[in-house]
């Protein structure tokens, strides 16, 4: 089954537009490590302030790129696996809304009127255009998702005896999580923040807004991750020359993520007032249950890789690893996925530290946090986006990959960089260095009374890692641009399809065939986990707080 | 192991699921132990102290202090908290404007300072010296300079 030809321009724009913005996002990542370590002792580099650039870095890399890519990848997966059933009008409508939203949010960021970081915690106040842009971006992704639902229904009706293709299960799980978790943040932004930033309401209930934000903020990371999980379960085994070890686990893991992604957000608020410890404890327990689908995934993927490696002549307990296509130019996508998995092992374990209740007091809001999430969102997620993004662009255009050796080097260079960066920030974080702070102007300025020489080594490792990461991105863009300049083949574009795997254990387990019971369980879990703390916050009637712009301690009139 | 396509969950997958559950159970048992036996817990909801607008240090008993800290763009009040060694200090923290942070590296004190709700943590200072208090939540252009200290006198 091939992908609908009419979808090609939509997918190409959805991949290339955010990749172009990524250049600014990555540039400002480098500016940040330089400023933090005190190598550049200024408010950023000329043209963009430190916190303005940090806002751009977060919004572009973690919200715009990830959302556009999830929609692009979803369009391709649904078209290929569900009988070319994507509504082309729906796909265009989603894209136009998302692009308009991005431009709406980008203008105030570039003008310095929305330097509130990508978490936009009130009562820091941004231009209303920033919030309106975010709403349009999210609604655009909803529209794209809604346009896939009829394709799913038609497919189920015309293939009553078959299991839904696993890749489609992964994409629908991704967007079910997204649909559920974006509702509270939509309430926060539309009902609380937009009228307040327009001056229609005087104050905002900060405690409520923060709870609604984190209701969204943690499932957001699974929205980032699940498209990459879809690649791991449905393409990595085939790229390794084998089959998916357990089809059941693929389905079970995606269903578990629908249930467990959302009722856990309070673990981001362990250190906050206004929330009883019993609710925090419940969320801590539910958060740790996420380790179950993660360990099931680790088992299944390792078994699938071993299956492929043994088919290629691999032997022994560990020696078979050498038979995986680590440097195979024909299967250059493999290391993008494989190295993401390697990085994610460390992202997962450090995530357990963050979730571990009292232990969070050591790391909350320190440099440990960006060190951790660069091993998740800038690990498997980012490498998945880079690899699959390139794969989709070349496939849709029918162009060959230029410089395959350079393309193969990108995931390895990136891994080296991100490990160096994160190791450094783990160290300075454990010594108390705060995240999202221009350290070079105070704590890492030897002439400041606040000087903390014990943070310097870690932040210098951050600089080294950041530069290596940027180098990987430069190589990637060189490969992408060189490939785009090559002549296109209409035949190759027509032949393009995702390399989907077969299953080795392919049992039919009725419990994981249907989304409905899992969505119902997710809604129930949300009511149980968020009903009582939300009711308590609403009952407490916290007074409204006026807004503040980042440049002045005087409230905005 | 042969490929299979029968009904039901294969035996190996069941075993792996059990192992994953046991791993989570072990982690949860450790957290419970830390919270119950070692007292390593998280801040809760303070209802007996109303949000205050002035910072002060109160001596409430021999070696016992209460620090009422106001966080505002871009300072803590009081910015220096002086206590003799061996003191136990209860920190109550509130913000007068945007969200701020309140961390004392080397102590288990790590709080968010919000307007409208009071955050609480306790620490014991046994050795003389100076401990930095650092705002670790982005609070505007002066964020990186927002710090205070606990000075423990001999």
Judged on CB neighbours under 10 Å (0-12, 13-18, 19+), A83 is: middle
Give me the pLDDT at residue A358, please: 85
Closest CA to A268 of A553, A1, A533: A533
Give me the pLDDT at residue B1, please: 46
Predicted complex ipTM: 0.93
CA distance to partner chain A, nearest, from residue B84 (Å):
22
- Cα–Cα distances (Å) from A55 to A24, A65, A138, A348, A554, in that order, read 11, 14, 18, 25, 22
Phi, psi angle pair for B92, to nearest 5°: -115, 125
pLDDT reading at A413 higher than 70? yes
Q: In whole angstroms, what is the distance from residue A264 CA to residue A270 CA?
A: 11
Given a contact cutoff of 8 angstroms between Cβ atoms, the answer to whether A33 and A463 are in contact is yes
Give me the pLDDT at residue B6, please: 64
Report pLDDT digits (tens) over A80-97: 999 999 999 999 999 999
Q: Name every residue whose Cβ is closer than 8 Å to that of residue A244 and which is 6 or more positions away in sequence.
A: A166, A233, A234, A237, A250, A300, A304, A501, A502, A503, A504
In this prediction, what percent of chain A has a pLDDT beyond 90? 95
Rounded to an integer, the average pLDDT of A439-449 is 96
Question: In the annotation, is A153 catalytic?
Answer: no
Pick the range with the lowest mean pLDDT from A53-62, A215-224, B47-56, B126-135: B47-56
Phi, psi angle pair for A399, to nearest 5°: -115, 145
Strand extents, DSSP E, A116-231:
none
Question: In the annotation, is A436 catalytic?
Answer: yes
Q: Which of A248, A372, A391, A426 is catalytic?
A: A372
* Element at B100 (helix H, strand E): strand B100-104
- Cα–Cα distances (Å) from A212 to A33, A275, A448, A516, A522, in that order, read 31, 13, 38, 25, 17
DSSP classification of residue A319: G
Q: Name every residue whose Cβ is closer than 8 Å to that of residue B17 and which is 6 or more positions away in sequence.
A: A292, A296
Closest CA to A279 of A336, A191, A324, A215: A215
Q: Which of B5, B17, B141 shows the shortest C-beta gap to A550? A: B141
CA distance to partner chain A, nearest, from residue B131 (Å):
11
Question: What 3-state DSSP class applies to B130?
Answer: strand
Q: Name every residue whose Cβ is closer than 8 Å to that of residue A9 and which is 6 or more positions away in sequence.
A: none
State the average pLDDT for chain A: 95
Q: Which of A435, A476, A496, A530 is catalytic?
A: A435
Report pLDDT digits (tens) over A240-287: 999 999 999 999 999 999 999 999 999 999 999 989 999 999 999 999
Describe the crossing of helices A333-355 and A291-311 by its angle, rounded to 10 degrees. 150
Question: What 3-state DSSP class applies to A394?
Answer: helix
Rounded to an integer, the average pLDDT of A159-181 is 96
Report pLDDT digits (tens) over A7-23: 999 999 999 999 999 99
CA distance to partner chain B, nearest, from residue A476 (Å):
32
The token pair that represents A254 in the structure block = 């995606």
* Element at A298 (helix H, strand E): helix A291-311
pLDDT reading at B3 higher than 70? no
Q: How far apart are the first and last CA of chain A?
A: 59
Given a contact cutoff of 8 angstroms between Cβ atoms, the answer to whether B10 and A505 are in contact is yes
Residues 60-89 of chain B whose Cβ lies under 8 A from any Cβ of chain A: 72-74
DSSP classification of residue A381: I
CA distance to partner chain B, nearest, from residue A113 (Å):
12
Give me the pLDDT at residue A71, please: 98
Q: In whole angstroms, what is the distance from residue A301 CA to residue A9 CA?
A: 33
Rounded to an integer, the average pLDDT of A485-499 is 92
pLDDT reading at A1 higher than 60? no
Give me the pLDDT at residue B5, please: 53
Closest CA to B92 of B55, B67, B56, B58: B67
In this prediction, what percent of chain A has a pLDDT beyond 70? 100
Residues in A touching B114 (Cβ below 8 Å):
206-207, 210, 272-274
Rounded to an integer, the average pLDDT of A39-45 is 94
Q: Does B128 touch chain A (CB under 8 A)?
A: no
**Which tops the pLDDT comparison, A1 or A390?**
A390
Rounded to an integer, the average pLDDT of A46-51 is 94
The β-bridge partners of B77 are B70
Pick the range with the lowest mean pLDDT from A104-118, A350-364, A394-408, B6-20: B6-20
pLDDT reading at A151 higher than 70? yes
Report pLDDT digits (tens) over B54-105: 999 999 999 999 999 999 999 999 999 999 999 999 999 999 999 999 999 9
Residue A167: CA count within 13 A, CB half-sphere: 23
Q: What burial letters (b/e) apply to A363-383, b meaning 16+ CB within 10 Å?
A: bbbbbbbbbbbbbbbbbbbbb
Region of residue A391 (left: phi > 0; alpha: psi -120 to 50; beta: else):
alpha
Report pLDDT digits (tens) over B12-56: 889 999 999 999 999 999 999 988 888 888 888 887 888 899 999
Question: In the annotation, is A504 catalytic?
Answer: no
Question: In the annotation, is A451 catalytic?
Answer: no
- Residue in chain B nearest A126 by alpha carbon: B140
Rounded to an integer, the average pLDDT of B133-151 is 97
Rounded to an integer, the average pLDDT of A186-210 is 96
Give me the pLDDT at residue B37, please: 87
The token pair that represents A230 in the structure block = 């879809």
CB contacts < 8 A, A to B, total: 223
For β-strands B56-61 and B64-72, DSSP reports them as: antiparallel
pTM for the full predicted model:
0.96
Residues 2-41 of chain B whose Cβ lies under 8 A from any Cβ of chain A: 3-10, 13, 16-17, 19-21, 23-24, 27-28, 30-31, 34-35, 40-41
Q: Do A432 and B21 touch (CB under 8 A)?
A: no
- How far does Cα A385 stand from its chain's mean position? 9
Residue ranges of domains in chain A, CATH in brackets: 5-228+333-490+548-556 (1.20.210.10)
Given a contact cutoff of 8 angstroms between Cβ atoms, the answer to whether A252 and A518 are in contact is no
Question: In the annotation, is A435 catalytic?
Answer: yes
Rounded to an integer, the average pLDDT of A31-43 is 96
Q: Name every residue whose Cβ is closer than 8 Å to that of residue A504 and which is 6 or more positions away in sequence.
A: A242, A243, A244, A245, A246, A304, A307, B3
Q: In whole angstroms, what is the distance from residue A186 CA to residue A193 CA?
A: 10
Report pLDDT digits (tens) over A278-336: 999 999 999 999 989 999 999 999 999 999 999 999 999 999 999 999 999 999 999 99
Q: Do A271 and B40 touch (CB under 8 A)?
A: no
Q: Which of B24, B73, B136 shows the shortest C-beta gap to A366? A: B136
What string of DSSP letters covers A322-368? GGS-TT-GGGTHHHHHHHHHHHHHHHHHHHHHHHSGGGHHHHTTBTH
């Amino acid at each position: 089954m091939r992908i609908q030809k009419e979808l090609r321009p939509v997918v190409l724009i959805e991949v290339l537009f955010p990749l172009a913005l990524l250049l600014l996002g990555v540039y400002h990542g480098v500016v940040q490590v330089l400023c933090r370590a005190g190598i550049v002792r200024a408010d950023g580099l000329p043209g963009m302030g430190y916190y303005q650039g940090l806002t751009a870095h977060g919004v572009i890399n973690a919200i715009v790129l990830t959302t556009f890519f999830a929609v692009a990848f979803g369009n391709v997966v649904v078209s290929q696996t569900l009988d070319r059933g994507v509504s082309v009008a729906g796909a265009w409508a989603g894209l136009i809304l998302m692009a308009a939203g991005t431009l709406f949010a980008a203008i105030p960021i570039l003008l310095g009127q929305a330097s509130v970081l990508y978490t936009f915690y009130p009562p820091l106040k941004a231009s209303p255009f920033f919030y309106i842009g975010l709403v349009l971006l999210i609604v655009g992704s909803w529209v794209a998702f809604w346009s896939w639902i009829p394709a799913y229904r038609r497919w189920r009706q015309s293939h009553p005896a078959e299991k839904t293709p696993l890749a489609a299960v992964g994409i629908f799980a991704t967007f079910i999580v997204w649909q559920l978790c974006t509702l509270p943040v939509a309430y926060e932004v539309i009902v609380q923040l937009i009228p307040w930033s327009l001056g229609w309401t005087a104050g905002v209930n900060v405690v409520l807004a923060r709870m609604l934000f984190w209701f969204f903020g943690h499932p957001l990371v699974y929205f980032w991750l699940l498209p990459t999980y879809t690649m791991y379960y449905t393409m990595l085994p085939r790229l390794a020359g084998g089959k998916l070890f357990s089809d059941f686990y693929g389905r079970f893991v995606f269903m578990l993520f629908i249930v467990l992604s959302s009722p856990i957000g309070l673990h981001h608020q362990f250190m906050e007032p206004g929330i009883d410890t019993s609710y925090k404890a419940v969320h801590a327990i539910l958060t740790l249950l996420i380790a179950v689908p993660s360990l099931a995934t680790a088992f299944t993927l390792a078994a699938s890789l071993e299956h492929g490696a043994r088919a290629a002549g691999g032997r022994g307990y560990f020696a078979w690893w050498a038979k995986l296509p680590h440097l195979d130019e024909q299967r250059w996508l493999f290391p993008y996925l494989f190295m993401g998995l390697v990085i994610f092992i460390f992202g997962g374990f450090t995530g357990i530290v963050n979730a571990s209740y009292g232990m969070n007091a050591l790391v909350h809001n320190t440099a440990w946090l960006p060190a951790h999430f660069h091993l998740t969102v800038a690990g498997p997620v980012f490498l998945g986006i880079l690899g699959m993004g390139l794969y989709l662009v070349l496939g849709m255009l029918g162009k060959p990959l230029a410089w395959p050796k350079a393309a193969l080097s990108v995931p390895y260079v990136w891994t080296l960089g991100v490990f160096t960066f994160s190791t450094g920030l783990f160290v300075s974080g454990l010594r108390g260095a705060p995240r999202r702070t221009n350290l070079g102007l105070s704590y890492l300025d030897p002439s400041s009374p606040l000087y903390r020489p014990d943070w310097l080594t870690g932040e210098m490792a951050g600089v080294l890692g950041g530069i290596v990461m940027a180098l990987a991105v430069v190589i990637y863009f060189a490969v992408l641009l060189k490939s785009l300049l090559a002549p296109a083949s209409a035949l190759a574009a027509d032949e393009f399809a995702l390399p989907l795997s077969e299953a080795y254990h392919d049992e039919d387990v009725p419990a994981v065939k249907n989304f409905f019971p899992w969505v119902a369980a997710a809604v129930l879990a949300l009511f149980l986990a968020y009903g009582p703390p939300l009711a308590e916050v609403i009952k407490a009637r916290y007074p409204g707080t006026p807004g503040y712009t980042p440049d002045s301690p005087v409230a905005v009139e | 192991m042969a490929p299979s396509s029968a009904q039901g969950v294969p035996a190996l997958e069941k075993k792996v699921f059990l192992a994953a559950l046991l791993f989570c159970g072990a982690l949860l048992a450790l957290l419970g132990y830390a919270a119950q036996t070692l007292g390593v817990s998280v801040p809760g909801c303070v209802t007996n102290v109303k949000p205050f607008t002035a910072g002060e240090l109160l001596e409430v008993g021999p070696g016992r202090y209460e620090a009422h800290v106001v966080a505002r763009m871009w300072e803590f009040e009081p910015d220096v908290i002086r206590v003799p060694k061996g003191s136990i200090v209860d920190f109550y923290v509130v913000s007068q404007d945007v969200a701020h942070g309140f961390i004392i590296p080397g102590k288990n004190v790590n709080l968010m300072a919000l307007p409208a709700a009071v955050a609480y943590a306790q620490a014991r200072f046994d050795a003389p010296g100076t401990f930095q208090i650092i705002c670790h939540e982005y609070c505007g252009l002066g964020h990186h300079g927002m710090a205070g200290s606990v000075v423990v006198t001999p």
